[in-house]
Amino acid sequence: MIPERERETLASSTVNIHNNEINAKLRKARPCQGAKYCWLIKVVAKTLSSSPFHHLRFFGGLLELMMEVCFVPSLQHLSCSKIVTSLLNKVFPLIDASSLNFSKKISLIPFVPRELLFVNKKNYKEITRRVVEDIRRLVPCASLQKKLENFISPLFCEIEEWEKICYRSSSIDDDTFIIIVNNIPQCWLTDGTIDREKLVQLVVKNNNILLTNRFIFACTYCLYEDVLNLWELLSETEKSLLRIDSDFVVKNWITWLESRSNKDWQFCVAWILGTSLWYKNVYVLKRVLGALTPSERSHYLLKALTQREVSSSVVRYCLSLMTRNEQELFFKESPVKVFECITSWPVRSCFFDIVDLLRPYLTADTFCNILNRLLLQMKNQKRDCVELLVILKNFWIKSPRHFQNIAKCDPRFSGQLQFILEHDFTQAFSKPEDTRQACFRAARADYVMQSRQQIFLDMSQGRQSNLHPLLIFPALI
């Protein structure tokens, strides 16, 4: 007969060992953590069936694990994305890449907004109509149809964002651009983003594309071996043109290629870490961090996130590699950057799972900054922004009353914010683009009101206003 005290000690040690085994299994499965933990059912049932008294200790360990923020979209998001991208690929030929007016001659026409150089509104409507028809044929459930339809706009924006990235590279010609666009259907990731690394590799290996363009893409996406090989193939004339007419990234690579005799990858990593390349480009960051030790990686992750201007893709990648303690430190220091990350595509599907973990780190100032960033995101969205509206309204409702009162007095967004909070956009508008137009109307009304106030203030103090006097007269606006 085992004494009571020894039996409790034995049970406790057994629980700890068992709990460690469970957590080990959970961490192995962690890439699926964003799927609301449905995948845990089989693991839990199998592991706990023989030891019922382990339940409390197990769920304590599970809660601790859940506190680590996971940036993997839910299974529902991944499934919807997979379905809609396959349907979008069917109608992709409707996007005539040769008609996208990408050439430098067109891009130099004055007063032509950049967005007009890409897929036009008529083309987008036709593509949307066909995809919606396919969805309704495939799925009888109305609520599921709506979920799938909401993926069309973000996926289309992903295509246009990639086109804009190509557009910004002044050296990319029309033929290269057409090849890039036509390769998009085979380069979708399951989360609804374009696998740019795969697409770039297709471009770099394509002998029908100009050598200089292939070199530019290899530099931008840190394809180290290709950079070395293509540099040797370039003529002196091509090298001279690249030295003069290239962006920051390419010029840095050329400087390194011409100044270093040792082209070993480890030496290249050391050089990159001495420049700003590694934290400005998520693809360079991924390659470089893979060559570092765990302690070095931890140091550079935090260093990358503390830079003034850091993209959401860099924030997402860095946080996904951090420990819980490192994540908490960053949440405390830079909550606005984290919110920008979790409201960007495709991570915004995880917003409601993550946002409550961030609330303890908010102040009145950061709350107002986050609202301002959300409103700016909605203004900058070229297409449907219903999802961002839902996020903003939910974030507002669950925030402390004194934060709300401070925000209402903030002149940056009082009128526009009030308009959004008082309207149910999902019910009021039948067409997705109407929500964005409503946001623009609210933003413009807010701007006009503030401008008039500034004009009257200038006039009362005898100053000449820089604002147009027609803003005073509402009938003329």
DSSP symbol at 430: S
Q: Map tokens 């931008």 to a residue.
A: 220
C-alpha to C-alpha distance for 116 and 337, rounded to whole angstroms? 30
**Residues whose CB is less than 8 angstroms from the CB of residue 463 and which lie 6 or more positions away in sequence, other chains included:** none
Residue 100 has a pLDDT of 53
C-alpha to C-alpha distance for 394 and 390, rounded to whole angstroms? 6
Residue 83 has a pLDDT of 93
Residue 27 has a pLDDT of 45
Whether omega for the bond prior to residue 346 falls within 30 degrees of 0, making it cis, is: yes
Average pLDDT, the chain: 72
C-alpha to C-alpha distance for 62 and 26, rounded to whole angstroms? 8
What does the pLDDT look like over 446-463, one tens digit per residue? Answer: 555 555 555 555 555 556
User: What does the H/E/C string look like for 144-161?
Assistant: HHHHHHCCHHHHHHHHHH
Span of 14-28, 30-44, 66-80, 228-242 with lowest mean pLDDT = 30-44
**Residues whose CB is less than 8 angstroms from the CB of residue 249 and which lie 6 or more positions away in sequence, other chains included:** 219, 220, 277, 280, 281, 284
Q: Map tokens 């990686």 to a residue.
A: 297
Continuous H helices in 322-385: 324-333, 335-342, 351-358, 364-380
Residue 218 has pLDDT above 80, yes or no: yes
Are the CB atoms for 192 and 81 separated by under 8 Å? yes
Residue 188 forms beta bridges with which residues?
194
C-alpha to C-alpha distance for 421 and 396, rounded to whole angstroms? 8
Q: What is the pTM for the complete model shown?
A: 0.67
Are the CB atoms for 391 and 371 separated by under 8 Å? no
C-alpha to C-alpha distance for 25 and 43, rounded to whole angstroms? 8
The confidence band for 275, taking pLDDT boundaries of 50, 70 and 90, is confident
What does the pLDDT look like over 117-176, one tens digit per residue? Answer: 455 677 788 888 999 999 999 988 998 999 899 899 889 888 888 877 776 665 667 777
C-alpha to C-alpha distance for 200 and 8, rounded to whole angstroms? 60
Residue 23 has pLDDT above 70, yes or no: no
**Residues whose CB is less than 8 angstroms from the CB of residue 243 and which lie 6 or more positions away in sequence, other chains included:** 251, 254
Mean pLDDT calculated for residue range 56-70: 44
C-alpha to C-alpha distance for 431 and 445, rounded to whole angstroms? 22
Q: What number of CA atoms fall less than 13 Å from residue 194's CA on the CB side?
A: 24
The confidence band for 61, taking pLDDT boundaries of 50, 70 and 90, is very low
The confidence band for 84, taking pLDDT boundaries of 50, 70 and 90, is very high
- Highest mean pLDDT (candidates 60-64, 66-70, 261-265, 441-445): 261-265
C-alpha to C-alpha distance for 366 and 77, rounded to whole angstroms? 29
**For residues 315 and 59, which has the higher predicted lDDT (pLDDT)?**
315
Residue 363 has pLDDT above 80, yes or no: yes
C-alpha to C-alpha distance for 352 and 375, rounded to whole angstroms? 18
Residue 12 has a pLDDT of 43
- Highest mean pLDDT (candidates 42-46, 193-197, 391-395, 423-427): 193-197
**Residues whose CB is less than 8 angstroms from the CB of residue 201 and which lie 6 or more positions away in sequence, other chains included:** 223
End-to-end CA distance of the chain: 91
Which residue type sits at 333?
E
The DSSP result for 255-279, as a single string, is HHHHH-S---HHHHHHHHHTSSHHH
Are the CB atoms for 118 and 163 separated by under 8 Å? yes
Mean pLDDT calculated for residue range 55-77: 56
